[in-house]
Every structure is written in C-alpha cells, then in structure tokens.
Amino acid sequence: MQDFLRSCRYFFGYAFFFSMFVNILQLTFSIYMLQVYDKVLTSYNLSTLAVITIAAVIALVVMALLEWIRSRLLVRAGIEFDHMLSRDVLKLNLQNAGAPAGKPAEQNGNLRDVQSLRNFLGGNAVFAFFDVPWMPIYFALIFILHPSLGMVAVGGGLLVLILGVLTERLTRKRLEAASHLNAHSFNLTGAAMRNASIVRSMGMIGNVTARWGKVNDLIIRLQTRASRSAGLIHAVSKSLRVGLQVLIYAVGAYLTVMHESTAGVMIAASIVMGRALAPIDQAMATYKQSLEARGAYGRLKTLLDAPRPLPAMDLPEPQGELTAENLYFAAGGRPIIKGISFRMPAGQSLAIIGPSAAGKSTLCKLLLNIWEPTSGKVRIDRADMASWDSEKLGPFLGYLPQDVELFSGSVAENIARLGEVDSAKVIKAARMAGVHEMILALPKGYDTQIGDQGAALSGGQRQRIGLARALYGDPRVIVLDEPNSNLDEEGEASLAQAVLHLKQQRTTLILVTHKPNILSIVDNIMMVQDGQIALCGARQEVLAKLAELQKQQREEAAKARLLREALERRKAASPENPDELQSGDGEPEHA
C-alpha cells in the first residue's frame, strides 16, 4: 500500500494544489455580496456592478474548471489504484483460496475492497479531506470581518463537529458488524446458487431461505439502528445549521444597527460560515462510504503488507523426480497427514488407495504445493517445490481434482488452461484423454462455449475435459484425484489408455483410485490410512500383501461370525433348556 501512496503522490499533490485555488475562489460569492451591499447599493453605481459581476462570473468559470480538473485527477488516481492493486489482490486470493483456512467471502471481498476504494477516490467523499485544511482560514476570515461573528461561527462549527464525532461513535460498530454479516450472507447465497440443483431436488429451498433470512434480518436491524441514530443527529445538525444562520444574521444585524459593521459584512459572514462548515456536512453525508473505504484500506493493507516469499531463482526444467520428506499437515487443529515420506524416480507411476477421509486428496494437494505442509518438504528434482516460481513450474504440472470445475469460455480455452490456444497441443491433449471424438460431437467442436463452470456439459464430460487440461503441454508430473469417479465404461477405457501413454512418455504419474484396471498397470501402490502410509511398494508386492490381509480379515470375520452364532444359540437356549448350559462345562457347542 505504501508503494501505491508513493506512486499516487503526483495525483494527490496536484489535487491539493488545485484545491487551494478552488477554496479561494469559493469566496467569490461572499466577496461579491459584500461589494454589492457596501459599494453598489450605497453609491448606485451601475458600472461598479457590471465590473464586479463580470469578475465574479470569470472567477466562477475558473473555479468550475479547477473543480473538473481536480475531479479528473482523483478519478485517475482511482484507476491507477485499481491497475496497481487489483491484479496483485487477485493473485494473492488465488494463492490463499485453496487453503483449508481460506474464507471465500473475505477473499471475494478483497476485490470488492479495491472497487470500494476506487469509487471512494473518484467520488464526492474524498473532496472533504482536501477542503478540511481550509476551515481555519474561513473562520479566521470571519474573525477579520468581526470578532463577534467569528465567535458565533467557531462555536457553531464546534457543535457541528461534536455531532459528527457522535455520529461516528454511535454508528461505526453497527455498520462494521453489518458489513461482516453481509460478507457471510454473500457466501451463503453463493453456495446455495452453486448447489441449486441439490437445494431444489431435496426440498432445501425453505431451509436455505430461512437461514439467509435470519442473517439478512440481523443486517437490517443493525443498519436500521445505525440509520436511526444517524438520522436523529442529522436532523439536529440540520436544525443547528439553520439556527447558526439565524444567529449570525441576528448578530450581524445588531452590529449593523450599532454601526459596528455593515450589512455586506453580515451577508458575507453568513456565506463564509456556510462554506467553512461544508466539509463537515459533506463528511457526515458520506460517512458510510468513508467508513467502508477505511475498512477496505485496512483489509487491503493487511493482505498486501503480509510477508511474501522472495522471488525464486530460475531453475532448469524439471524432469519429474518427486520426493516427500516427513510431511505433516493439520487443519482446524486436527492432524490429517502424519509423517509421510517417499521418493518417486522420474517416469514412475503410483496409485494411492485407502479408505475415505484417510488423507489421500490432502496428500495430492501437498505434493503439488497447493497447500503448504505444516512441516516437511516436497521436492521436485531434489529442489524444494516451495522455492519454485509457481507460474514457471505450473506448465510442468498437471492436476485433476475430485470436483472438476471449468471456466466460462470455449472447450479449447479450457484445455489450454486459459492461455493462448495452441491447436496442435490442444488436440494432442484431447486425443491422449480420449475426448477428441466427444468434443467434435459438440455443436461447435472445440469452439463450443461451455458456460459458467461448464454448466453445458455433463459431469463425465467435464471430468474428461479436465483430464485433457491436466495433460496439456506434456507436463512432467501429473496428479489425478479419483479421475474415474464420473466416467462411464468408455471413459474408463480412455483413462487406462492415457495412463499407458503417460508411462511410455516417462511422465511421473500419481493417481488416487481403487479401480482394478488402473491398479493393474501402475508401477507402485501406496495405501494410506489415517494420514499415514500403511503399505507402499511395487504393484505385485502390495497386491499380494493386500490379498493376504483380505484373507486374514475373511478368516477373522468367519471366526467372529461362528462365535456370535454360538453365543446367540446359547442365549436362545438358556431360558427354555437350562440343562443345556451344563453340557460341555458351559462352553458353546462350536467353541
């Protein structure tokens, strides 16, 4: 943020410079009225009236021109602010969005904060900050006209300022709380819209709207209380302003009657006092916008001033050797990955198996540096993956998550990872994924627009296009998390062919799968249980151990079943045939 402020000193400096002349020219009307009452009306000199009128018109035209220039400067500062920060904010949001502790509402709010500050800089609220330094000069001018009028103006100014501070104290916390709840409401409605099919099919519309309604009602209550307090103070302030005008006219008239002043001075003092109090009135009128801008500035400052990793040194293109060193990962105080270590030579393939919630998907995210491990390291070609520039390493990595989401755009743009579409590479990736024929069957082939999040495609089509995206550009390391969860028989056959092709290309491949047709063609298998490696080794070795374990489990299950049946027979026989309990020394018949 400091860099932005330094780069925008040009705009703010010139805006302040022009504000000086604008505020001087704001005195045009008061000086004009002073001359009219004290010179023209007493001398009946029309030439004097003509001269001062022309001078006043010229001054007002110049003031309007300077106001326009000042406004343009501040609008330009807002645009510069957006250009400087919006891309950085989006990059930081994307880097933080995948973290388990990430808060989507806040991350989306960061971009809204940029927009809020840009609008603030280009709006009327910011003018008050440039006009406030001139308030003492206006009050001093009223003192020069007459000390009594000056005391009335200063006293009134203090009262208006106190009311402004009171407004801030009574409304700030409520408006901030409403702003936080607004973010929560936005997140809730966004989740509901993303899952609209689930909400509609399972009769959840009433529950969702009821939950949203509770949050919205609380927001309305907070905003209503803040508006009620602000409205009361605004009404008092408005009455006070009128009362001050009456009082300054009364004092001015008294001084005129006592021959201590003139009618022109009375009129001029009233106009100057109105101008002196204008920044306070403007600040109160735009207080909500100023409060939002202040909160936005604080949040952006926290985001942008947070420590960032130093720029990474350029490294040679990775070959695909992957190493995990004692990986630990915890989220919400709960350990998920517990000391996983392994090494994969370049070109090897590994299938990860295990029960649900064992940590398989988390491990995939750690291996691609999507999530940062609590401790331990992931290395690619012996270099810590965290030390790589993600933009430079990304083209050498491929990833297919469990929940595939596509971007609004064409099929080709999605496969090309939203970059420049290289037709040859796109078609090659599609053929490897076995999706080329399916894409050609779409209305416009590779140019078909798939809609937001791929809404125009089925789940299986999205997954297969997501696979092509992961294969685009011949990456050296590919991680596929449950790649066949939405595939039909044809899709699974295409996936198996893609795996074989990747093995021939010597691509390092990691898959989370339990499909026998995939397990039969990988080099190694790792079984993860409770965040730890239960089994890991060559395919045949692990499959043999799994078969042995399954045999032992079946035998133990059979023994347990026989024992349970014997106990049930014994329990069933005990009330009717108590003598049976004595046979066999009380042991079950099949024990």
Residue 331, beta-bridge partner list: 334
Residues 6+ apart with CB under 8 A from 329: 335, 336, 337, 359, 362, 366, 371, 373, 374, 531
Q: In the block, which residue shows the tokens 């916008």?
A: 289
- Cα distances (Å, whole numbers) of residue 580 to 561, 564, 584: 22, 18, 9
Do 417 and 426 form a contact (C-beta atoms < 8 A)?
no
3-state secondary structure of 400: strand
Question: What pLDDT is recorded for position 313?
Answer: 64
Closest-CA residue to 432 (of 501, 478, 350, 482): 501
The CA-to-CA distance between both ends of the chain, in Å, stands at 78
Closest-CA residue to 317 (of 383, 371, 386): 383
Residue 509, beta-bridge partner list: 349, 478
Do 178 and 222 form a contact (C-beta atoms < 8 A)?
yes
Secondary structure percentages of the chain, helix, strand, coil, to 5: 70, 10, 20
Q: Which fold has domain 322-530?
A: Rossmann fold (3.40.50)
Alpha helices in 195-346 (DSSP H): 196-201, 205-257, 263-285, 287-305
Do 120 and 289 form a contact (C-beta atoms < 8 A)?
yes
Sign of CA dihedral 494, 497, 503, 507: negative
Rg (CA), the chain: 37
Closest-CA residue to 79 (of 119, 42, 107): 119
3-state secondary structure of 322: strand
3-state secondary structure of 399: strand
A 10 A CB-CB count for 536 gives: 17
Residues 6+ apart with CB under 8 A from 399: 364, 368, 370, 470, 478, 479, 480, 481
3-state secondary structure of 36: helix
The angle at the Cα of 506, spanning 500 to 511, to the nearest 5 degrees, equals 55
Alpha helices in 482-581 (DSSP H): 489-504, 516-519, 539-573
CA 508 to CA 511: how far, in whole Å? 10
CA 542 to CA 548: how far, in whole Å? 10
A 10 A CB-CB count for 108 gives: 16
Question: What pLDDT is recorded for position 65?
Answer: 94
Q: Which CATH number fits domain 2-94+102-304: 1.20.1560.10, 1.10.3720.10, 3.30.470.10, 3.40.50.300?
A: 1.20.1560.10
Question: How far is it between the farthest Cα atoms of the chain?
Answer: 138
Closest-CA residue to 117 (of 292, 304, 302, 301): 292
Question: What pLDDT is recorded for position 237?
Answer: 82
**Phi, psi (deg, nearest 5) at residue 377:** -140, 150
CA 528 to CA 534: how far, in whole Å? 6
Write down the domain spans for the chain. 2-94+102-304, 322-530, 555-586
Ranges of the chain whose pLDDT falls below 70? 1-5, 96-109, 197, 307-313, 453-455, 574-591
CA 271 to CA 28: how far, in whole Å? 10
CA 435 to CA 449: how far, in whole Å? 16
Question: What pLDDT is recorded for position 583?
Answer: 42
Do 398 and 471 form a contact (C-beta atoms < 8 A)?
yes
Do 507 and 492 form a contact (C-beta atoms < 8 A)?
no
Q: In the block, which residue shows the tokens 């209305």?
A: 443
Chain-centroid distance of CA 339 in Å reads 32
Question: What pLDDT is recorded for position 62?
Answer: 94
Residues 6+ apart with CB under 8 A from 433: 464, 465, 467, 468, 471, 494, 495, 498
Q: In the block, which residue shows the tokens 């840009």?
A: 118
Q: What is the pLDDT of residues 109-136, one digit of tens each?
A: 677 788 888 888 777 778 877 888 888 8
Question: What pLDDT is recorded for position 586?
Answer: 39
Question: What pLDDT is recorded for position 100?
Answer: 63
Strands 334-344 and 322-331: antiparallel
Do 389 and 311 form a contact (C-beta atoms < 8 A)?
yes
- Cα distances (Å, whole numbers) of residue 313 to 293, 316, 369, 410, 557: 38, 10, 17, 35, 57
3-state secondary structure of 186: helix
DSSP state of 340: E
Question: What pLDDT is recorded for position 108?
Answer: 59
DSSP state of 414: H
A 10 A CB-CB count for 344 gives: 21
- Cα dihedral angle (540, 544, 550, 553), rounded to 10 degrees? -150
